[in-house]
Amino acid sequence: MDDEYFMQLALAQAKLAQGLGEVPVGAVVVHQGKVVAAAHNAPISSSDPTAHAEVLALRSAAKHLDNYRLEDCTLYVTLEPCAMCAGAVLNARLHRLVWGASEPKTGAAGSVLDVFANTQLNHHTQHSGGVLATQASQLMQDFFKNQRVLHKHHASTTLREDALRTPEACFADIPDYPWQPHYLSDLPSLNGLRLHYLDEGPKDAAVTWLCLHGNPAWSYLYRKMIPVFLAAGHRVVAPDMPGFGKSDKPKKDRAHSFDWHRQVLLEFVETLDLQHIHMVVQDWGGILGLTLPMAAPQRYQGLLVMNTTLATAQQPLSTGFLAWRQMCADKPLFDVGRLLGRGNPHMSEAECAAYNVPFPDTGHRAALRAFPPMVPEFEHSDGVVVSRQAQAFWQHEWTGKSFMAVGAQDPVLGLEVMQALREHIRHCPEPMVLPQAGHFVQEHGEVIAQAALKALGSDTL
């Protein structure tokens, strides 16, 4: 019988741990060629943080041999011991230690630190690793993959106490929004909040259109553009920012900040591993979105920019924006659908009503209250530094194609603001101006999407 034989026994113990929902680590202690103890991880089931497989096996072996010193014994364990277990091995005066897979995060036999290499200690245990490492490592990978799936399901159905979630039934009858919901809740910055997004078209498409909405809209705003992009054979991804649409809504206004929302978007792009991105931005979708490509420029190849700005605080906020901000403060329960309809008289009552659906009461409207005063206004404002860095990126480093569309009736981010922005986007051509369109220019989205396909060289029809 050799090391692999005894490691197989340790792996059997690890599988027992896995079946009990414990991290799959198993151990056996061998004395004079015979197994005298076997154990597996049990911290969860025993509510004991020290109940690692190695410690439990050493305890059992010492009791079996009636001796706390195990000088003639070998410990086989499927995973490189942590500092606690390495200390237990030395305290037991163990003759030899054999482990399977290395542990790059907590391993104390050479991966993170090497307890056994300390010459000041009065006992030195022979040790070696890598025995059936592939099998041991696969067991760990399978376990944690399953745990992530379980956690994701739990998080996607569990609502944080400090957040609200618009019931799915509220969205049942909205027009022209047939796409299936997708959810993420494992982004570090979300901390358990659930983020909704649309993800349509082939994952390996030549182009991915990343559509970012602003305030007080949600992904419904892109319903007229999405079919055009899909018809071209492309992929479309459209998230609802936290606080909007089908995403969870923090109850407190102070939960929202420029840096937090930007970090959510950065992690979202990384988690979905989006490539060949044509970014589509408007309003806050641009204030935040235009700061993203410089963090990973290799992911982005095109820009469709509409009625937005870079919040560099280099110019005073416009009179139009100041009036908008004051209106939001004076009328915190303003009718979102009516706001959209006033600038887009061609919208139906049902379409206008769809914009109100995510916000059934004041508790669901924290983002709508928080975003207007969140626009960076002064040198020290949250977001100014990164916005200025982004401005330099677009002006000097951007190598992709750009297309600009402007709703001329926008009193806040209209043609004058957009022409100023265009000067800072390298090789951006003159904008497509829609004379009858207002701030929410996506309500004229079909013609814009068709023009963008041609302008960005991605029209495959």
Catalytic annotation, residues? 283, 410, 439
Name which of 77, 79, 65 is nearest 3 in CA terms.
77
Tell me the backbone φ, ψ of residue 37, rounded to 5 degrees. -160, 145
CB count in 10 Å sphere of residue 112: 16
Residues facing 402 on adjacent strands: 303
Three-state SS for the chain is CCHHHHHHHHHHHHHHHHHCCCCCCEEEEEECCEEEEEEECCHHHHCCCCCCHHHHHHHHHHHHHCCCCCCCEEEEEEECCCHHHHHHHHHCCCCEEEEEECCCCCCCECCCCEHHHCCCCCCCCEEECCCCHHHHHHHHHHHHHHHHHHHHHHHHHCCCCCEECCCHHHHCCCCCCCCCCEEECCCHHHCCCCEEEEEECCCCCCCEEEEECCCCCCHHHHCCCHHHHHHCCCEEEEECCCCCCCCCEECCHHHCCHHHHHHHHHHHHHHHCCCCEEEEEECHHHHHHCCCHHHCHHHEEEEEEECCCCCCCCCCCCHHHHHHHHHHHHCCCCCHHHHHHHHCCCCCHHHHHHHHCCCCCHHHHHHHHHHHHHCCCCCCCCCHHHHHHHHHHHHHCCCCEEEEEEECCCCCCCHHHHHHHHCCCCCCCCCEEECCCCCCHHHHHHHHHHHHHHHCCCCCC
User: 46 with 70: CB under 8 angstroms?
Assistant: no
